[in-house]
Amino acid sequence: MTSSGLRPTPVDGYPSPTSRLQIATEDILRAHVPTSGTPPVLNRNLHLQFLLRNLQQGFPERYTSQDASQPWLIFWTLQGFSTLGIGLDDRTKRRAIDTILAMQHPEGGFGGGPGQVAHLLPTYAAVCSLAIAGKPGPGGGWDEIDRAKMHAWFLSLKQPDGSFKVSSDGEVDVRGLYCLLVCATILNIMTATLLAGIPEVIASCQTYEGGFGSASFGEWAFGEDGQSPDYAAPRPTLGEAHGGYTFCATAAWALIQPYVRLYASSPSPNLSLAPPAVNMRSLARWYAAMQGGRAELGGLRGRTNKLVDGCYAWWVGGGAAVVAGMLKEMDEARSIVGECVAGDVDAKEGEGEEAKEEGWEDDDVDDSLFDRAALQEYVLCAGQHAAGGLRDKPPKHSDAYHTLYCLSGLSVAQHQVIPNTSRRIALRSSWDSAKARGREGSGMSLSDDQLSFSDGLRRESFVNALSWLEEEGTEIYVGGAVNRVNATHPLFNLTVTHTEAVMAHFYGQSLPIRRPTSRPRRKPPTA
């Protein structure tokens, strides 16, 4: 590393509060830049001890601030173990299931603790915790989720503009929307009634910077009554583009693609309107711009002109992985449409060999939008606390939240999990529509027309979610394979294995065997 590579962010001789804080932070981080010759090490055992202590002994008093986020404390811990490749014993699973189920609200959804009001965010954490610890059958946790009540509760939170409150009397934002879509996807309760208007809401939260803000203001276009909406009225974004909201909006946009496509191809009440669109170019640009320079060890920030923070390794790194996957999918769709109009999609398998000869860029198997090695350095060199657990940045302490999201960020920097065309084809061909319909959980009665729409939506939601697989041969391990953590599904932040198991259950499907796929590589990835 040359010293010029570590030059501070240029201030142009015009300092301001932002640049002063930035330079002071770079001065701290610079001391953590790895020296050549000593590869950074993931202190796996220390982090496992940290997680185990939290799980078994519990959290110290300062975590009282998380009392309304108890499913999150459990999810951060369980998924931390999954990421580090540690399975849970049966007793721990049992206790986790019982604890989570104690937080299920009698009217549907999960609260932040027993007796608390149901809320979309802890509902995501509860469902994902059960995906990790639960199983089918009595006492297994999965079948104790009241899906019909959850769906009815979701509908009770829906606003005239298509957005959702996070809880009764709660705020509206895209975090809630993301959490709802994850639950609806996993649990087979994605109905057209639930999804109506969501694409427009997501699109309206994209800011001029390319990333997404917290919510949009819908009152001018959709009053309280929701009658005769004025689609031309502005729906301004509340709050600037932000890593957490941008992740949620990006993943929500990916999860709702089957609905967007089906809706566009079916008779629509609003034919005069252009379908809602997210600007993927400006979104990709925004994600890339969030990576800090070498002096910040390539960490990720959450907003323009703010500081890097270990948790954005996941929110921004994971969101960038979703965009990279969607861009790849769009590329493939274009080339299939362009070159193989009436042909068999399968024939495209193995295609690309000739294309690789054409230019330098096809040698590159790495579709990511950011510097994966640099981000790993940030997590390993600045994100780890000497006493175990991971953190925002030095000299801060570690905590449960940063521990998971630093590890998840390390995971998206090591692995590429992206949509896989042959997997999509295999999932479609093994799809059992009758079983999936029989396992539908919302309990809504539908007309024949609606049935065929919802059959299509159900299949495509399932296929869309489970076609994301790790692209073998694209791993990069800074510090060597000894630092490897498990891959995580960027739409859910669960392992692909956990996602498959829980979705196979709720859709009544038996999954085709996964064959390892890989793209040939010319040179080994370097770190």
**Which one among 23, 68, 345, 527 touches other proteins, defined by CB under 8 A?**
68
Stretch that binds other proteins, among 179-187, 263-271, 296-304, 346-354 (CB under 8 A): 296-304
Report residue 106: phi and psi, to 5°.
-55, -25
d(CA 280, CA 286): 10
Site track 132-151 with other proteins (rule: CB under 8 A), x = hit: --------------------
Nearer to other proteins, 14 or 38 (CB): 14
Nearer to other proteins, 232 or 271 (CB): 232
Catalytic residue among 175, 235, 372, 402: 402
Nearer to other proteins, 92 or 517 (CB): 92
Query: Beta partners for 172?
Result: 165
Length of the chain equals: 527
Classify the C-alpha dihedral 308-85-416-419 as positive or negative.
negative
d(CA 278, CA 294): 31
**Which one among 66, 156, 422, 517 touches other proteins, defined by CB under 8 A?**
66
Strands 237-238 and 215-216: antiparallel
**Which one among 47, 147, 242, 505 touches other proteins, defined by CB under 8 A?**
242
Cβ neighbours around 334 below 10 Å, total: 10
> 306 an active-site residue?
yes
Closest approach, Cβ 450 to other proteins, in A, equals 34
> 124 an active-site residue?
no
**Which one among 26, 161, 200, 209 touches other proteins, defined by CB under 8 A?**
209
Site track 307-346 with other proteins (rule: CB under 8 A), x = hit: ---------------------------x------------
**Contacting residues for 90 by C-beta, under 8 A, at least 6 apart:** none
Closest approach, Cβ 328 to other proteins, in A, equals 11
Catalytic residue among 392, 393, 423, 459: 392
Closest approach, Cβ 306 to other proteins, in A, equals 7
Kindly determine how many residues on this chain lie close enough to bind other proteins according to the rule CB under 8 A: 89
> 392 an active-site residue?
yes
> 32 an active-site residue?
no
Rounded to whole angstroms, what are the CA distances from 20 to 11, 13, 23, 395?
9, 12, 5, 18
Nearer to other proteins, 360 or 448 (CB): 360
> 428 an active-site residue?
no
> 348 an active-site residue?
no
Catalytic residue among 158, 242, 301, 458: 242
> 399 an active-site residue?
yes
> In three state form, how does the secondary structure of 418-476 look?
EECHHHHHHHHHCCCHHHHHHCCCCCCCCCHHHHHHHHHHHHHHHHHHHCEEECECCCC
Nearest alpha-carbon partner for 234 in 216, 249, 251: 216
Interaction of residue 14 with other proteins, rule CB under 8 A: yes
> 312 an active-site residue?
yes
Contact set for other proteins, span 462-501 (CB under 8 A): none
Catalytic residue among 235, 309, 405, 505: 309
Three-state secondary-structure class, residue 325: helix
Catalytic residue among 128, 179, 205, 311: 311
Cβ neighbours around 10 below 10 Å, total: 9
d(CA 389, CA 102): 28
Rounded to whole angstroms, what are the CA distances from 297 to 247, 254, 358, 478?
22, 30, 35, 13
Interaction of residue 303 with other proteins, rule CB under 8 A: yes
Q: Which residues are catalytic?
A: 242, 303, 306, 309, 311-312, 392, 399, 402
